[in-house]
Amino acid sequence: MLDSFFNPRSVAVIGASTRPQSLGHVLLKNIVEGGYEGDVYPINPSADTILGLRAYPSILDVEAVVDLAIVMIPSTVIIEVARQCGEKGVKALVVISAGFSESGNAELEEALIAEAERWGMRVIGPNCAGIINTSNKLYASIESRISTGKIAFVTQSGALGGAVLAWAENEGIGFSKFASYGNARAHLESDEETEVITLYVEGVKDGRKFYEATKRVARIKPVIVMKGGLSAAGSRAVQSHTGSLAGNSAIYMAAFKQAGVTYANTIEDMFDMAKALIFQGRVSGGRVVVLTNSGGPAVMVADELEELGFSVPAPSPDIKERLSFLPGFTSVRNPVDLTAQGSPENYAKVLEALFSEDYYDAGIVVCVPPLGLDASEVAEALAGVELRHKKPIIACFMARELVVEVVPLLERRGIPNFPTPKRAARALRVLLKKS
């Protein structure tokens, strides 16, 4: 069913326009220039061709099969257009048009859904910003430039979606799928290109249905949810712009927990956790060791881990014994501080020793390269340890140009890096279980 949205054989753009600044033009252009390989049919009663493609007065004039229709026409004619799509055999509708429950016109939205159901069509929207599948290059959205990755991002706010995609591009985060589901919803549990599902939710119409669907998905792959409208003012705003109730914060939190969904408080938090999950596996404990060559950042990591409810215990006597090769000035507590003298070899040997018994569940490795230390050698050394022990390692390599080259190297070797100590600690929490 989802395939009709993300892997259609052909797409009609109803409301495609010749005016360069219009939504109906930009969206068609994004599909064409994005590189989608299926057939594209612009629908516009007063144009012969748009962007070099033959235009059709109505979808019923297209001879070939149409799987997906993107609709950007005034809401007043939406029912008639939906009927034509149904008659044509369209399987999936993405309705960009506004003017439904978010504008106080809930009846029109119900009529649209009813019309779609009559023909067995699925609907994303109305009042949404479209969909993207990076794997087949279907950019059926006003958002055009996103990188390929393993995160699916579904947002109830189209504009927030655009802003988040732009922010993610700056942070080097890529996506498998993007869907702005406006007032509706989408399902991604069976999508092979998606490893983690991220969700921005404002209001939910049928709480039970949302809960059951989310719970089912979360059993199959990790789901991270950010919730807007938890405050009184935020909730009033949600009601006005999505036409749904934001609901009680405590109820949502309890439901997310029961459904096995991870709650994120900010945009950074959501994508940092998604990144941790893509690079590393979950473990059943919550005992973390912090290995560093610099005191300050490691202190901040330890502070945040304890604040989040995890344990940062000193090494066991056996582990301490194994660390006896270290020079006397090294602190063999936790954080384990190699000081500015820490070599790549010692990073690896110490992490080996720390992971040698079933004492720590995960590690955060901090590196602020002093003069003379090649951070890429530290990255290589760590990658070896990680592969052998299969315990999650999160990195926080901080500092200028040196690290700009090392972060991609770390991440190619499967170790995610975060730009500040507390973001590293917060990202790790999604992999751990509190004891």
User: CB of residue 257 vs a second copy: minimum separation in angstroms?
Assistant: 19
Instruction: Kindly report the number of other CB atoms within 10 A of residue 124's CB atom.
Output: 25
User: CB of residue 231 vs a second copy: minimum separation in angstroms?
Assistant: 3
| HSE, side-chain direction, 13 A CA sphere, residue 283 | 22
Helix (H, G, I), strand (E, B) or coil at 12: strand
Is the CB of 8 or the CB of 243 nearer to a second copy?
243
User: CB of residue 20 vs a second copy: minimum separation in angstroms?
Assistant: 10
Is the CB of 66 or the CB of 382 nearer to a second copy?
382
Is the CB of 159 or the CB of 220 nearer to a second copy?
159
Quote the crossing angle between the two packed helices 344-354 and 375-389, to the nearest 10°. 20
Sheet arrangement for strand 130-133: 138-141, 130-133, 175-180, 148-155, 196-201, 223-227, 262-264
Is the CB of 333 or the CB of 389 nearer to a second copy?
333
Helix (H, G, I), strand (E, B) or coil at 316: coil
Do residues 318 and 357 make contact, with C-beta atoms less than 8 angstroms apart?
yes
Q: Considering Cα of 367, then 372, then 378, then 380, what sign does the dihedral take?
A: positive
Is the CB of 170 or the CB of 284 nearer to a second copy?
170
Is the CB of 121 or the CB of 336 nearer to a second copy?
336
| Residue found by looking up tokens 């591009």 in the block | 169
Q: Could you tell me how many residues make up the chain?
A: 435
DSSP 163-228: HHHHHHHHHT--EEEEEE-TTS----TT-TT-SEEEEEE---SSHHHHHHHHHHHHHHS-EEEEE-
CA distance 363 to 160: 34
Is the CB of 41 or the CB of 310 nearer to a second copy?
310
> How buried is 418 (Cβ within 10 angstroms: 0-12 exposed, 13-18 middle, 19+ buried)?
buried
User: CB of residue 63 vs a second copy: minimum separation in angstroms?
Assistant: 32
Is the CB of 223 or the CB of 364 nearer to a second copy?
364
For residue 157, the surrounding DSSP H or E stretch is none
User: CB of residue 429 vs a second copy: minimum separation in angstroms?
Assistant: 14
Is the CB of 214 or the CB of 334 nearer to a second copy?
334
Phi, psi for residue 236 in degrees, rounded to 5: -60, -40
User: CB of residue 39 vs a second copy: minimum separation in angstroms?
Assistant: 25
User: CB of residue 1 vs a second copy: minimum separation in angstroms?
Assistant: 27
Instruction: Point out which residues pair with 123 in neighbouring strands.
Output: 93
For the record, the structure tokens of 341 come out as 């003298």
Question: Contacts from 295-301 at CB under 8 Å and sequence distance 24+?
Answer: 295/335, 295/337, 297/366, 297/368, 297/396, 297/398, 297/421, 298/335, 298/337, 298/366, 298/421, 299/335, 300/420, 300/421, 300/422, 300/425, 301/335, 301/364, 301/366, 301/396, 301/421, 301/422, 301/424, 301/425
User: CB of residue 333 vs a second copy: minimum separation in angstroms?
Assistant: 5
Do residues 33 and 92 make contact, with C-beta atoms less than 8 angstroms apart?
no
User: CB of residue 242 vs a second copy: minimum separation in angstroms?
Assistant: 7
| Residue found by looking up tokens 């979360």 in the block | 218
User: CB of residue 77 vs a second copy: minimum separation in angstroms?
Assistant: 18
User: CB of residue 273 vs a second copy: minimum separation in angstroms?
Assistant: 15
Do residues 201 and 228 make contact, with C-beta atoms less than 8 angstroms apart?
yes
For the record, the structure tokens of 193 come out as 């290109």
Is the CB of 111 or the CB of 399 nearer to a second copy?
399
Is the CB of 86 or the CB of 125 nearer to a second copy?
125
